[in-house]
Structure 1
Amino acid sequence: MTNIPEPTETPDSRSAITDPSEIAGRDEVLDARTFDRIRQPRGKSRLPLGEGTWHQLARAYVWVQLISTASVLVIVLAVALVLSLVLHQWWVWIPAGIVLVILVWTLAITPRQARAYGYQLRADDLVLRRGILWQRMVAVPYGRMQLVDITHGPLDRGFGIAQLKLVTAAASTGVTIPGLTQEAAERLRDTLIDVAESRRTGL
């Protein structure tokens, strides 16, 4: 967890700050091992992408999600089989069947959902876009960021990915970017901290 320190004004503080426009285009670190483009809904009423370069999630994120969901599916199926065949509790297939259908559906749409994620570094804010059926686009001003948190579980570490969480003064405007490569998460964290400090000092 990385707290953004209180701003301190120094003569050379401006030179130490990373301008987000420096990595606004295609970047070797942010775009390594990621998808090529954002998957959008086909309807004309979809949220427009707008100008600028969108960065996407790591391809390994799909495998992590598939393995996690498949593991839950196997556990639910095993429990249902034991209860029905050994204890003769046949009613268990009603809730288990609903859960299994949801998990199978989740497995089917996970690759498409992962490709619908994207984030963009603009001059004054970071924009996160996600969703196919339920689309969401959130803009987080750099000056409002208070904490940048990187987390990753055992499975994430095995595939070399991490999750970046941005916390702002208003909790409802905080966003989480899942499935970044470890290098991209660290690069993005350092950049956002530098830019947030510059906005808070009014430089």
Structure 2
Amino acid sequence: MEMNRGTHQVPEGDAAVVADDQKAIDPEGVDWLRVDPAYVKVRFIGVLIGGAVWLLITSVPLVLMLTGLWGGYPEWLAWLLPGVAVVWTLVDLIITNRRVRAIGYAERDDDLLVRQGILFKKVLVVPYGRMQYVDVQMGPVDRAFGLCKVQLHTAASDVTATIPGVTTDEGARLREQLSARGEARLAGL
């Protein structure tokens, strides 16, 4: 795997898969930087925690039915809800690696590109002159893996670009570089 400024470029084997998937909306000639591979573990933990919460919530009717406190609903429905939660979590775990591989970003001369998504693909172009501030965030799981999330806020209040799963060094570098580029472009307007 080739390293570039603390980020990961697309390995040759994955390049064809990513290129085929994103070909329709990717700009020509862009070298995408990938998020850190450890971000797969962060997402995996998040999916497991979310799945456990949904399993607890969807198991309430089953527990109430088994204890005899709640009746009147079909027994199969009480069993179906936790089953759906488990299946949903398993599917989410299976596609987590692919979701993380679909995240990428590229710094160009005048703008930053951020892409993500495997079913609903999105490529966001953020001109440096439209950036108002750059935010770096770390949750407890991110911190355990030495990762952070870089969030760019633009002049349009509802538009933010997020690059999750970058190393803390890369996050600090992006914050400083993107802020400096934003100020330089804003001053030139």
TM-score, normalisation: structure 1: 0.75
Q: Map of 1:57-76 to 2, 5 A cutoff?
A: 57-76=35-54
Whether 1:136 aligns to 2:103 is no
The alpha-carbon deviation at position 83 of structure 1 amounts to: 1.5
RMSD (CA atoms): 2.7
Structure 1, unmatched stretches of 5+, are: 1-25
Normalized per residue, the structure richer in helix is 2
Equivalent-residue separation in structure 1 for 2:157 and 2:78 (angstroms)? 39
Equivalent-residue separation in structure 2 for 1:152 and 1:42 (angstroms)? 32
For the Cα contact (< 8 Å) 1:125–1:139, is it kept in 2?
Answer: yes
> Which residue of structure 2 aligns with residue 29 of structure 1?
6
Structure 2, unmatched stretches of 5+, are: none
Whether 1:181 aligns to 2:141 is no
Q: Map of 1:11-90 to 2, 5 A cutoff?
A: 27-31=4-8, 36=11, 39-40=17-18, 42=20, 46-77=24-55, 80=59, 83=63, 87=67, 90=75
Q: Select between 43-52 and 155-164 the one with higher mean Cα deviation.
A: 43-52
Whether 1:102 aligns to 2:88 is yes
Normalized per residue, the structure richer in strand is 2
Which structure has more RCO (C-alpha within 8 Å, separation ≥ 6)? 1
Q: Select between 84-93 and 168-177 the one with higher mean Cα deviation.
A: 84-93
The alpha-carbon deviation at position 86 of structure 1 amounts to: 5.5
The alpha-carbon deviation at position 51 of structure 1 amounts to: 1.1
The alpha-carbon deviation at position 92 of structure 1 amounts to: 3.3
The alpha-carbon deviation at position 75 of structure 1 amounts to: 4.5
Residue 44 and residue 123 in structure 1: after superposition, are their counterparts in 2 closer, same or farther (change >3 A)?
closer
Equivalent-residue separation in structure 1 for 2:175 and 2:22 (angstroms)? 35
Equivalent-residue separation in structure 1 for 2:126 and 2:29 (angstroms)? 17
For the Cα contact (< 8 Å) 2:10–2:32, is it kept in 1?
Answer: no
Equivalent-residue separation in structure 1 for 2:41 and 2:4 (angstroms)? 23
The alpha-carbon deviation at position 85 of structure 1 amounts to: 8.3
Letter matched to residue 26 of structure 2: P
TM-score, normalisation: structure 2: 0.80
Equivalent-residue separation in structure 2 for 1:136 and 1:167 (angstroms)? 17
